Structure 1
Amino acid sequence: MAGERITVLVVDDAPECLAVLGELLQPHYRVLVANSGAAALRLAEAEPRPELILLDVMMPEMDGRQVFTRLRAQAATADIPVIFVTAMGDLQDELQGLEAGAVDYITKPIAPPLVLARVRIQLELKQAKDRLSDQNRWLEREVARRMSENDLTQRVAIHALARLAETRDNETGNHLLRTQGYVERLARLLQALPAYAGELTDHKIDLIARSAPLHDIGKVGVPDKILCKPGALDEDEWSIMRTHARIGAEAIAQAERDVGHSLEFLTYAKEIAEHHHERWDGAGYPDGLAETDIPLPARLMALADVFDALISRRCYKPPFSFEHARGLIAEGGGSQFDPDITHCFLDNFDDFVAIARRHADQQAERAEPQG
């Protein structure tokens, strides 16, 4: 045991007891002595902090149990092991001391070999406990680091996959970031409503927002001549275009089957990919779902996707102003869009304009709001 690096504090109001314990321990440890409870507390909080305290129980003014209580109440000294030293040999006194949290109990007159053995054991136990605590802290940091790394890897993979699909339609720019921002803001606003507080937890909102960029992943299955057509699509072309919703959901489902494991956020990704073109009135696709039969993540994306399409340049249309887009969204509330989500959007419209500007495309693809 590395003696000089280990500090032991001996507390006793009797000078002869301090002398005996000091002479016994000094060959092995750095010894600090205190002849009162107040002095003991000062030394215990000072540096170098003792790694073990031998504390006399029977002292005037502040007895050992009071000192012990004060030690445990301070964060700096709460973990220092304490051995009670007393002339009382009553079993009940010893039990009370141990139940209070002392690690051991030594009775006077002391037996030097026994004192040395008990001090050594308690210091070894403390060192083992400290090593374990250090290892636990390291493990906690490592787990946190790896979780953060896995989280970042997942986010990067999602965006990489979504942007790969986006290269098929190079006019969408930062559409992924904007719609993700809209969806998260809408979900936060909806969360504040009593009807949604239980359903939209912080965890669920995070997963919905995380999965939002995969909403149009199915467009990889749509031919370029349709996806990039500058004019209006005919009925046959629309039928093919609409398949992207099912294609996207099936691709995500197949990925889950391939790894043999279901991920919570991919459940929301499938719902968004498959149903973000459904309408509140049931006139959407691919399943013609209506109202709350449409999964909530898809209802959030439905409005977010349309708003961003309205304010962005497309091969078939110029960008609309923010105010024009706002008016069209308002007209669609209760028919195309969930009324509650529409109200959240309209009542906090400036938030969505801010998101759009924050993630504006490099090229001037949108008009600024008018009026």
Structure 2
Amino acid sequence: MRKPLILCVDDDATILELLCDFIKALGYNTIEARDGLEGLKLARQYLPDVILLDVMMPGLSGFEVCEKLKKDPNTEDIPVVMVTALGEIEDRVKALEVGADDFLTKPVALPELKARLKSLLEVKAHRDHLKRHKEALEREVQKKTKELQKALEALKEAHRKIKELSLEVIFRLSRAAEYRDEHTGEHIQRMAHYSAIVARRLGLNEEVVESILYAAPLHDIGKIGIPDEVLLKPGPLDEREWEIMKKHTEIGAEILKGTNSGFVRLGEIVALYHHERWDGTGYPRGLKGSEIPLAARIVAVADVFDAVTSDRPYRKALSTEEAFKIIEEGIGSHFDPKVAEVFLEAREEILKIKETFKDSETPKLYQLIKSLREKPLKK
């Protein structure tokens, strides 16, 4: 076990020798300094357990040395005993003000010095124990923090992959309904991203924007319940057929209802209300203005724009300029004015999405499915 180390600082060689001899006799190690500057240097170099510090010395006084030691993080916990012939109360107060832990009056009574050293060494040992414990706790906290950060990053990555997978599943399931219609898989990609752009520009928070991105592809999922003779009819629908077609909104909402998933609940709302019109002439409820849920108002604009700019078996696609014109003309009648205006302001972003998600081979697959439906089975 290491012996305690005591630093004695005094410009009087005789007193310094007596102090060190007595301290060694007590079983402690000592180092000596004959002025304040040397004492400060040795204290920082050896980090003793206790410092006995004379006050009146040439150069740096004991008060100055003590003040510097207590301001240094490496030496601030070392107990300092001011040893002085000064007996004025002001000197004792000053010693305490600069951070001294104790003081002794010259000539030093050796039994008192022994008791003071024993007490201060116990204090120092306790401080050192607390310091080591604190450092150990800090290391453990840092270790656990790093582990937590690592686990959090892994969780975020897993959550990101789950979200990507969820969106992929939504797009693919939505395409199952689209294959029964003339739409393409890229249609749902485009209109979903159009919807997200508008939602973000409207100032909705990212969680809501993401929910709309996930919910928008589900808007026409109810078409899976529309009979082929209505859904696939190449010409205009008669009144009875049109009433059947309009049911896809309620069928979609029915398919999606009863879930705890936020974006699926939003998908239910979008499926039911995306054909409502701002002026109240839409379906299935004939809602008007702000009675229509905002997500459905957003999807309505995105859906119409993409529909008119895509080829269909019964007509060619309109140009983007013509499509933007349709949106502009529908402000206040078909579309929420604010939503439509934001859509028009986002023209560059909209066109970038349209370019990113071009129509692929889906129409060929659609034609294959349609031909199989129309081809009679051999008996």
Q: So what's the TM-score if we normalise by structure 2?
A: 0.64
- 277-286 or 263-272, larger mean C-alpha shift: 263-272
1:190 correspondence with 2:202: yes
Please give the secondary structure, in 1, of the residue aligned with 2:257: helix
Q: Pick from 108, 123, 132: which aligns with 1:123?
A: 132
Secondary structure of the 1:167 match is helix
Residues 64 and 316 of structure 1: CA distance in aligned 2, closer, same or farther (over 3 Å): farther
Q: Which residue in the other structure is 1:74 paired with?
A: none
Q: Deviations over 1:117-165 (max 9, x none)?
A: 5424532342233223322332233134224423431442243134223
In structure 2, the residue matched to 1:172 is 184
Cα distance, 1:335–1:151 mapped onto 2, change above 3 Å: same
1:243 maps onto 2:286 in alignment: no
Q: Which residue of 2 aligns with 1:85?
A: 79
Q: Which whole-Å CA distance do the structure 2 matches of 1:119 and 1:345 have between them?
A: 67
Alpha-carbon contact 2:278-2:332 (below 8 Å) kept? yes
The unaligned stretches of length 5 or more in structure 2 are: 11-15, 17-23, 30-38, 52-61, 83-91, 101-114, 364-379
Query: d(CA) in 2 for partners of 1:236 and 1:116?
Result: 94
Letter in 2 for 1:283: T
Q: Does 1:222 align with 2:226?
A: yes
1:79-117 Cα offsets, whole Å, 9 max, x none, are xx9745333799x979x99xxxxxxxxx97465566445
Q: d(CA) in 2 for partners of 1:55 and 1:297?
A: 73
Equivalent residue runs for 1:1-371 within 5 Å? 35=40, 60=65, 63-68=68-73, 83=77, 85-87=79-81, 109=117, 112=121, 115-116=124-125, 118-170=127-179, 171-191=183-203, 200-254=204-258, 256=259, 262-362=260-360
SS in 2 for 1:357: helix
- Rounded Cα–Cα distance in structure 1 between residues aligned with 2:164 and 2:221: 15
In structure 1, stretches of 5+ residues that fail to align are: 1-9, 25-33, 44-51, 72-80, 98-106, 192-199, 257-261, 366-371
Give the C-alpha shift of residue 337 in structure 1. 0.5
The equivalent residue for 1:101 is none
**Which residue number corresponds to residue 19 of structure 2?**
none
Amino acid at match of 2:174: A
- Percent of counterpart pairs with the same letter? 30
Give the partner amino acid of 2:233: K
Q: Distance in 2 between matches of 1:244 and 1:334?
A: 25
After superposition, the Cα gap between the structure-2 partners of 1:285 and 1:83, relative to the gap in structure 1 and judged at 3 Å, is farther
Deviation digits for residues 33-80 of structure 1, max 9, x if unmatched?
A: x9469x97xx9xxxxxxxx99898965496245434xx9xxxxxxxxx
Matches of 2:285 and 2:8 in 1, distance apart? 85
Distance of aligned partners of 1:35 and 1:240 in 2 relative to their CA distance in 1, 3 Å threshold: farther
Contact conserved, 2:191 with 2:302, CA < 8 A, in 1? yes
Post-superposition CA distance 1:160-193 (Å, at most 9, x none): 13422313434413122211221121122222xx
Could you say if the C-alpha distance between residues 320 and 249 of structure 1 is closer, same or farther in structure 2, counting changes exceeding 3 Å? same
CA contact (8 A) 2:249 2:272 kept: yes
State whether residues 79 and 124 of structure 2, in contact with CA within 8 Å, keep that contact through their aligned partners in structure 1: no
Instruction: Return 137-146 or 306-315, whichever deviates more.
Output: 137-146
CA gap 1:356/1:364 in 2 versus in 1, 3 angstroms: farther
- Greater CA radius of gyration, 1 or 2? 2
Gap change, CA 1:343 and 1:86, over 3 Å in 2: same
Number of residues of Structure 1 aligned to a counterpart in Structure 2: 295
TM-score normalised by length of structure 1: 0.65
Shift of the 59–249 alpha-carbon distance from structure 1 to 2, 3 Å rule, reads: farther
* Whole-Å separation in 2 of the counterparts to 1:108 and 1:227: 99
1:275, distance to aligned residue in structure 2 (A): 0.8
Q: Aligned partners of 1:108 and 1:216: how far apart in 2? A: 87
Contact 2:277 2:333 (8 Å CA) reproduced:
yes
Secondary structure class of the residue paired with 2:202: helix
Distance 2:48 2:241 in 1: 84
SS at match of 1:87: strand
